[in-house]
Amino acid sequence: MGAATRTPPGGRAGDEQVRDEVVQVARGIATAVAPAGGLTEVQAALLQAIASALTGVDVDYHGLEPLGPEELAAALEGRDEGYRRRIVHHMVLGEFVLRPIPADVALRVAAYARALGIDDKFVRVARRYAQGATGLAWMDLRRSGFTQHLEQAELSDQLHTATGMSDPFEPPVVDPALEACWVGFSELPEGSLGRAVWEMYDGRGFALPGSATGPSAYLAQHDFVHVVADYGTNLKGELEVFAFIGRADPDPKGFAWLATLIGLFETGYIRDTGFFRRDVRERNIQAPGMHLRLADAIRRGKAVSERYGTDLFCVDYHALAALPVEEVREALCVPPKSDGALASGSPGLFELEGMSEIQRAFAERRRQAAR
């Protein structure tokens, strides 16, 4: 097949049939997303890392023999719609790290999606990017990935706010009761979830939810996940945490989170979400080890999706705030980071390497003032 593969002895993918399917999927994805000159190094490294993290099979994405849409559809004939949709999302991810996205790549991915029987809005978003219609793409992404999802959810109890929520990126509403609730986390025991998330805010100079400049109650949910998953708050850490959150969502619409963060912090397709702003001074996904860190975040999210089965934005973290962080991790079925992710430099939440320059400077000023 022209592919170098490595299956770990006795590993999850020891079965030859599974290994063959992983290779066929890799061939299809690589054929779909390759620009005229072949897969880029970023595409190949990221897609290979994800395949290895999720299946245990290591496939060299360079030099794979082509596999057309109908052939891939035949290979996945016995797979359910959810599995095939995830494969399409891996193709879209392979597109999203390109700038620009070649028009022929966007059309090719759309053809694979049709062959797999998948009608997916993220495929259309990629085509908008390829056409240069980034504003329309963001509207599509925002509508299909976030607002429709929120319109179907009842979250007032979980968010502990009296204000409505129809868009995670809408400007925050001043809510003194919510802010007081977050201040109260400072009184919880050391090592508890609530105390840890308050220390994260306090130690970095973040404005609390409910205040005029803090995040919305909905977006603040992801800060609990920073604690539970132990990811930093610099741009690389945000990519990790949203890759984790997006894959942890049993609804494939969760992919919108990773798509948005890549548009903000890697390719610049998205200018401003209202809370996050575009920052492409560094190519974060191209940084050493980031392909392995993102792949591991997706692996961990998949485990949560399969074992816990609830969108992490819909969890009532306030009800869990007094519990030790380790106990919350166990309740949410969050596996530890892999050795590969740790060796690739994935820092913990309270490590300086997990903070931005501004956040580190604030922490240093706080430390100096405490002397």
pLDDT above 60: residue 123: yes
Q: Are residues 120 and 240 in the same domain?
A: no
pLDDT above 60: residue 13: no
Q: Are residues 75 and 11 in the same domain?
A: yes
- pLDDT given for residue 12 in this prediction: 44
Q: Are residues 240 and 368 in the same domain?
A: yes
- pLDDT given for residue 11 in this prediction: 44
Examine the fold and report which residue of 107, 132, 157 is the final residue of a domain before the chain moves on. Answer: 132
Higher pLDDT, 207 or 275: 207
Domain assignment present for residue 345? The answer is yes
Q: Tell me the pLDDT tens digit for each residue of 283-304.
A: 899 999 999 999 999 999 999 9
Residues linked to residue 59 through DSSP beta bridges, in sequence order = 5
150-178 mean pLDDT? 73
Q: Are residues 126 and 192 in the same domain?
A: no
Q: DSSP string spanning 76-131? A: TTTS-HHHHHHHHHHHHHHHHTSSSPPHHHHHHHHHHHHHTT---HHHHHHHHHHT
pLDDT above 60: residue 2: no
Domain assignment present for residue 228? The answer is yes
Q: Are residues 102 and 229 in the same domain?
A: no
Other C-beta atoms closer than 10 Å to the C-beta of 42 total 17
Residue 117 φ/ψ region, left for φ over 0, alpha for ψ in the -120 to 50 degree band, beta for the rest: left
Domain assignment present for residue 221? The answer is yes
Q: Is 147 exposed, middle or buried (0-12, 13-18, 19+ CB in 10 A)?
A: middle
Q: Are residues 181 and 124 in the same domain?
A: no
DSSP three-state, residue 5: strand
pLDDT above 60: residue 241: yes
Q: Are residues 262 and 366 in the same domain?
A: yes
Q: Are residues 104 and 184 in the same domain?
A: no
Residue of 346, 250, 253 lying closest to 294 (CA atoms)? 346
Q: Are residues 124 and 166 in the same domain?
A: no
What are the C-alpha distances in Å from 75 to residues 13, 31, 84, 219, 228?
17, 15, 11, 39, 38
Q: Tell me the pLDDT tens digit for each residue of 39-68.
A: 999 999 999 999 999 999 999 999 899 999
Q: Are residues 321 and 223 in the same domain?
A: yes
Show the CA angle centred on residue 348, arms to residues 346 and 354, nearest 5°: 75
pLDDT band at 146 (very low <50, low <70, confident <90, very high): confident
- pLDDT given for residue 206 in this prediction: 96
- pLDDT given for residue 149 in this prediction: 65
pLDDT band at 15 (very low <50, low <70, confident <90, very high): confident
pLDDT above 60: residue 97: yes
DSSP three-state, residue 296: helix
119-123, 150-154, 210-214: least confident range: 150-154
**Phi/psi at 341 (nearest 5 deg)?**
-65, -40
- pLDDT given for residue 182 in this prediction: 97
pLDDT band at 9 (very low <50, low <70, confident <90, very high): very low
What's the structural domain count of the chain? 2
Q: Tell me the pLDDT tens digit for each residue of 171-227.
A: 778 999 999 999 999 999 999 999 999 999 999 999 999 999 999 888 999 999 999
Token pair 């049709």 is found at: 114
pLDDT above 80: residue 148: no
Q: Is 239 exposed, middle or buried (0-12, 13-18, 19+ CB in 10 A)?
A: buried
Beta strand segments in the chain, E:
5-6, 58-59
Residue type, 108: R
Domain assignment present for residue 137? The answer is no
Domain assignment present for residue 96? The answer is yes
Q: DSSP string spanning 164-186? A: --S-TTSPP---HHHHHHHHHGG
Q: Are residues 289 and 316 in the same domain?
A: yes
361-367 mean pLDDT? 91
pLDDT band at 126 (very low <50, low <70, confident <90, very high): very high
Q: Are 174 and 211 in contact (CB under 8 A)?
A: yes
Domain assignment present for residue 151? The answer is yes
Q: DSSP string spanning 17-50? A: HHHHHHHHHHHHHHHHH--TT---HHHHHHHHHH
- pLDDT given for residue 272 in this prediction: 86
pLDDT above 70: residue 154: no
Residue of 245, 238, 250 lying closest to 317 (CA atoms)? 245
61-79 mean pLDDT? 96
Could you give the CA distance from residue 299 to residue 282 in angstroms, rounded to a whole number?
25
Could you give the CA distance from residue 132 to residue 4 in angstroms, rounded to a whole number?
36
pLDDT above 80: residue 153: no
Query: Buried (b) or exposed (e) across 49-72, using 16+ Cβ within 10 A?
Result: bbbbbbbbbbbebeebeebbbeeb
Higher pLDDT, 282 or 222: 222
pLDDT band at 169 (very low <50, low <70, confident <90, very high): confident
Examine the fold and report which residue of 103, 132, 161 is the final residue of a domain before the chain moves on. Answer: 132
* pTM, two decimal places: 0.93
Q: Which domain, by its residues, includes 46?
A: 1-132
Residue type, 256: A
Mean pLDDT score across all residues of the chain: 91
Q: Are residues 21 and 122 in the same domain?
A: yes
Examine the fold and report which residue of 81, 111, 132 is the final residue of a domain before the chain moves on. Answer: 132
Q: Tell me the pLDDT tens digit for each residue of 301-355.
A: 999 999 999 999 999 999 999 999 999 999 999 999 999 999 999 999 999 999 9
